[in-house]
Structure 1
Amino acid sequence: MNRHAIYALTLSMLIGIGATSCTKYNEVDPPRTDQKSTDELPLPTHTISQLKALYKRGGTLIDKPIVISAVIASDDSEGNLYKSCYIEDETGGMELKFALGNLSSVYPQGTRVRLLCQGLQLGDYAGQINIGYTSKDEKYETAFYPELLVHRVLLKEGHTDIKPHELTIATLNKKYAGTLVSLKDIQFLASELGQTYADPQGKDKNRNVNRTLVDRSGAQLIVRTSSYAKFAGRTVPSGSGTITAILTYFRDTPQLLILREQDVQLTGARF
């Protein structure tokens, strides 16, 4: 190969590299997905219910290669969740205390995942079992799992259209805790009208605010919203209709955790 041919080849390679570099510079690199084919993923060994059953008071470190197959039920894009998410399967749901901000940008709602539990710790908070990192604070049985390690234990499998459990206030049950639910024919109490979901101006003092829903029978249900949520300062709707949210419990008290403002569809006439 003569000198001119070598130069031409080198130049074309540099142009190719430069084009690639410009493309990378001008585009936002997609988040790391770590999605694998089903054949590459470790086989599930337990359901969420079976995993929860391993919990012992004081916290339980998982020292065996336990694998959960589940679906991401939550969405933290509007800030009512922070450094945590909820997964569910056919046996129930649970909170993952994972210190990954904007987790739903990498693991959107409906993402099918395999959770590798070995090295994680089960803990209890207000009667609900969660999983995270070993805590050094005696007040808590779990801490937040480090952000940079999340992709090692939460493997993406694919995506599915998650459907909420259609319930009423009367049929709420702890077996649905940590799962996506939908309640129809409800509205905020008359005394809540004109109020905002939470308190963004006073969020240092009021980190979370409770509002109350009611159904036609008079049964009531708490909606708990972070004052850091994007919709915290929005006025609660005055009509009746449907809310889709994550069902949580504080001991024996059921609560709804709204994920997105659009999931509150209270546009009908009040009853």
Structure 2
Amino acid sequence: MKRYIFLFAAMLALVSCEEFGPVFKDKYEDPEPYEYYTDADFDPDSFVTIAELKSMYEPGKPIVIEDDIVIKGQVTTSDAEGNLYRTMYIQDSTAGIELKMGKTGLYNMYKQGQWIYVKCQGLALGAYGRMVQLGYEDVSGKYETSYIDVQLLIDLHILKGKQDDPVKPIVVTSAEDILSEKYVGMYVTVKGLEYGNEVFCIIYDKNGNSTYLSDGSHGIDSWAFSEEGFAEYLKKGYVSNPENYEPAFYSVSQYFRLQGADLQVRTSGYAEFADSKLASSGITAVNAGRISLTGIMTVYNDNYQFLLIDLDGVRIE
């Protein structure tokens, strides 16, 4: 049966921001009760695991799910720090998956550890850069999935269950595990990392010409660039003709290594911690092999990447 817990009354008043813009942060009114779902609200035969759902996808062949199936998982992410945009991840004991929610400020509506039921009939299962996603059909055909950005559709498909303890991360300690599909989409802690002193970042001049910063650090010692951070970086002389560039937000991939395997930690320029220095979190040569990162394992084409939720996910052991 449906039961009652509390949620902030003002949550439905959140509005969308520009792409990768900061999430809404403000003081909310006193909580009011809302209904939450349990297993008893669904046909027992409709449940499939997240792994079973993901197995329905064939590369390059997105599908609109026709069967009346339901997945159940716990929320593992939060967009409070701005490193996730219009998306969240859920997982069960078998796998994790990205839900393309199409809303910002999701951390106010879906708490880490909360159970979520997803009625999959009518949703689209596809991928972006091999990362399997569940969303809505992209009628333009440009992408394999689109955002579930209409509140009516969200209310029909994404149903809130009870609040539970946050998911404990799976501990990963081998290169084999970060170079496989095994934990893609799941909440993990990768231990024993060393900093690779290497980045990947694409910047654009005023004419739209791109410059690739890779195969070295290029003096980038922060997780990413806010506008202010990039303006300061231009003053350091690492980029030729800095007068041709304007301040902008840039994502950066910082490389870490485990037993010779590369792991790209990609951070949005709109993250609250974009300009934070790696050294302030203990990311230094002296701590090689002692770095642990907690977040979501992802993949983009042939590169296995890592998504930090916040800097609490960075530890020196």
| Same fold? TM cut 0.5 | yes
Cα pair 1:34 1:155 within 8 Å, conserved: no
Moved more, 221-230 or 201-210: 201-210
The gaps in structure 2 that reach 5 residues or longer are 1-26, 199-216, 231-245
Following TM superposition, by how much is the alpha carbon of 1:38 offset from its aligned partner in structure 2, in angstroms?
Answer: 3.9
Q: Report which of the two has the higher share of helix.
A: 1
Is 1:47 equivalent to 2:49 in the alignment?
yes
Alignment TM-score, normalising by the size of structure 1: 0.80
Query: 1:1-271 residue pairs with structure 2 within 5 A?
Result: 28=29, 30=31, 34-43=35-44, 44-56=46-58, 57-148=60-151, 149-158=153-162, 159-170=164-175, 171-172=177-178, 173-190=180-197, 192=217, 195-201=221-227, 202=230, 207-215=250-258, 217-237=259-279, 238-239=283-284, 240=287, 241-266=291-316
Per-residue CA shift, 1:109-167, capped at 9, x if unaligned?
11111111011101121112211011023220111002413233122222233111111
Following TM superposition, by how much is the alpha carbon of 1:29 offset from its aligned partner in structure 2, in angstroms?
Answer: 5.1
Alpha-carbon distance in structure 2 between the residues aligned to 1:177 and 1:83? 19
Alpha-carbon distance in structure 2 between the residues aligned to 1:189 and 1:33? 47
Following TM superposition, by how much is the alpha carbon of 1:54 offset from its aligned partner in structure 2, in angstroms?
Answer: 2.0
Following TM superposition, by how much is the alpha carbon of 1:41 offset from its aligned partner in structure 2, in angstroms?
Answer: 4.4
Alignment TM-score, normalising by the size of structure 2: 0.69
Secondary structure of 1:254's match?
strand
Following TM superposition, by how much is the alpha carbon of 1:205 offset from its aligned partner in structure 2, in angstroms?
Answer: 5.7
Percent identity of paired positions between Structure 1 and Structure 2: 31
Alpha-carbon distance in structure 1 between the residues aligned to 2:189 and 2:51? 21
Alpha-carbon distance in structure 2 between the residues aligned to 1:229 and 1:31? 30
CA RMSD of aligned residues (A): 2.5
Cα pair 1:35 1:157 within 8 Å, conserved: yes
Cα pair 1:33 1:106 within 8 Å, conserved: no
| Higher-Rg member (1/2) | 1
The gaps in structure 1 that reach 5 residues or longer are 1-25
Following TM superposition, by how much is the alpha carbon of 1:87 offset from its aligned partner in structure 2, in angstroms?
Answer: 1.2
**Residues 116 and 207 of structure 1, relative CA distance in 2, 3 Å threshold:** farther
Following TM superposition, by how much is the alpha carbon of 1:80 offset from its aligned partner in structure 2, in angstroms?
Answer: 0.6
Secondary structure of 1:175's match?
coil
Alpha-carbon distance in structure 2 between the residues aligned to 1:166 and 1:88? 15
Cα pair 2:197 2:255 within 8 Å, conserved: no
Amino acid in the other structure paired with 2:117: R
**Residues 34 and 62 of structure 1, relative CA distance in 2, 3 Å threshold:** farther
**Residues 54 and 162 of structure 1, relative CA distance in 2, 3 Å threshold:** same
Following TM superposition, by how much is the alpha carbon of 1:211 offset from its aligned partner in structure 2, in angstroms?
Answer: 0.4
Following TM superposition, by how much is the alpha carbon of 1:85 offset from its aligned partner in structure 2, in angstroms?
Answer: 0.8
Secondary structure of 1:98's match?
coil
Alpha-carbon distance in structure 1 between the residues aligned to 2:32 and 2:139? 30
Partner of 2:236: none
Per-residue CA shift, 1:49-72, capped at 9, x if unaligned?
211222244420112211001111
